[in-house]
């Protein structure tokens, strides 16, 4: 076994929420994003999940 370090965005940093909103807005009307989301929705197995 060996240690592994993973760097992730700091969700507590100033401007994090604003940057998320900015990037999301860029994808809002992107046709490729729509295609990807539809593919993921179809590919996801939800058998046994409760709604």
Q: Is the separation of the CB atoms in 29 and 37 below 8 Å?
A: no
Distance of CA 29 to the CA centre of its chain: 16
Residue with the larger pLDDT of the pair 4 and 48: 4
The two three-digit tokens of residue 49, written as one number: 């999940």
User: Could you tell me the maximum CA-CA distance found in the chain, to the nearest angstrom?
Assistant: 45
Q: Is the separation of the CB atoms in 43 and 36 below 8 Å?
A: no
The two three-digit tokens of residue 51, written as one number: 């709604």
Q: Is the separation of the CB atoms in 28 and 21 below 8 Å?
A: no
pTM of the model: 0.58
Q: What is the pLDDT of residues 9-35, one digit of tens each?
A: 999 999 999 999 999 999 999 999 999
Residue with the larger pLDDT of the pair 45 and 6: 6
């Amino acid at each position: 076994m060996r240690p592994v370090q993973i760097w992730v965005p700091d969700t507590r940093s100033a401007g994090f929420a604003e940057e998320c909103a900015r990037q999301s807005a860029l994808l809002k009307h992107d046709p490729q994003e729509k295609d990807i989301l539809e593919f993921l929705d179809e590919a996801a197995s939800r058998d046994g999940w409760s709604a």
